[in-house]
Structure 1
Amino acid sequence: MPMSGLPDLPGALEELLLWRRDVRHFRNDPLDDALVDDLLRIAQLAPSVGNAQPWRYVRIRSTDLRVALATHADEQVRAAGDRYADSRLRGRYDVLKLHGLRQAPEIVAVFCDEAGPRGRRLGAATVPEALCYSVVLSIHTLWLAARARGIGLGWVSIVQPDHIAKLLGVPRSWRFVALLCLGQAEGEDDVPELQRRGWQARVPWRENVSVL
């Protein structure tokens, strides 16, 4: 279908990217199963090296597993905080909310199947990390699709990958990539929370671009 007939598509996409914030504060209203299925379907429209589609999504429905994941994340939050010797920096760290595993209605773990036969290693023989990069693209596609439907997403990275893989009992060839929280956000904001709380501001985009 030609794209030229769509109204202000570039502007709408930029606005969507602007509002794609990492969400840590969730309402616990349940999400409709059909909506979650649709989001996961769209996530798998992402490009992948060799068309390998190496992403593996695991929905966490067990209450015991949710509690175990949240407890583990809390332990890692405390351990990470102990690395900050500067009292002012530690004070700013302590007020940050780094996950919503207890509040979010949907928890999804995402893995990369590094040994799957799909794609026949095309493009991954020289850059094997490209398989995991493909998984990250799928997560970003899910993020945008969720935001377009008014659903917030939070990426919980303050966990130990091996612990998560063992806890969930996934195949050994699956490499942990992300633990995601999905749900309605408690509030809306187009400014990253870490920027609002004085942790790290956005830098001018040109600082991240070089010309050779």
Structure 2
Amino acid sequence: MKLLKILAGSRRGYMHFMRIAIFVVMAWIGGLKVFQYEADGIVPFVTNSPFMNFFYNKDTRLPVDNGTGKQVAQYTLHKNPEGKVVPENIAWHKHNRTYPFSYGLGAVIVLIGLLVLSGIFSPKTGMIGGLLTSGMSIITLSFLITTPETWVPDLGGAQHGFPYLSAAGRLVIKDIIMMAGGLLIASDAAKTILKKKQEVISA
């Protein structure tokens, strides 16, 4: 019973902890978007997304021959392993506008994180941040439909395709928690706003 009372009485603190947690994730991931390896890493998601691919150069989305007579997406031939820099690949990414887009996306993500954090002091901006977090998560989760790399490829093994999530897919699916968290803090902020309005009317 004591534990139940502690948990119930700590609801407000936990709600703020949710805001701080979302901010940490947003600020960290958004901040990493200024680095080459992270910018390169999001290319498969952006290129295959109908919501975002127009930010990249149109000609870099056209399929090319991979040297074996098979047509493949260009970006698959220009992947930089994390921690490694290949000059030819960097040049391709510059032409693709990979880096400017990543910088802009990172700034937006950090801004949303700041709005969420501000919800501790300002319910209105916090509500906006929560709704934007949820909306961003919907786009991220759509990658499970649009990005082939989110599923284990068919390389001869028995487990491939749905429901076998790859490392990229396992990373994406976690955004369902961010979606729920965004809606939760937006709802809490809305409740606070309504309560304050009611107090004004009552006064």
TM-score of Structure 1 vs Structure 2, range by shorter chain: under 0.3
**TM-score with structure 1 length normalisation?**
0.23
Larger radius of gyration: 2
Query: RCO higher in 1 or 2 (8 Å CA, sep ≥ 6)?
Result: 1
Larger proportion of strand = 1
**TM-score with structure 2 length normalisation?**
0.24
Larger proportion of helix = 2
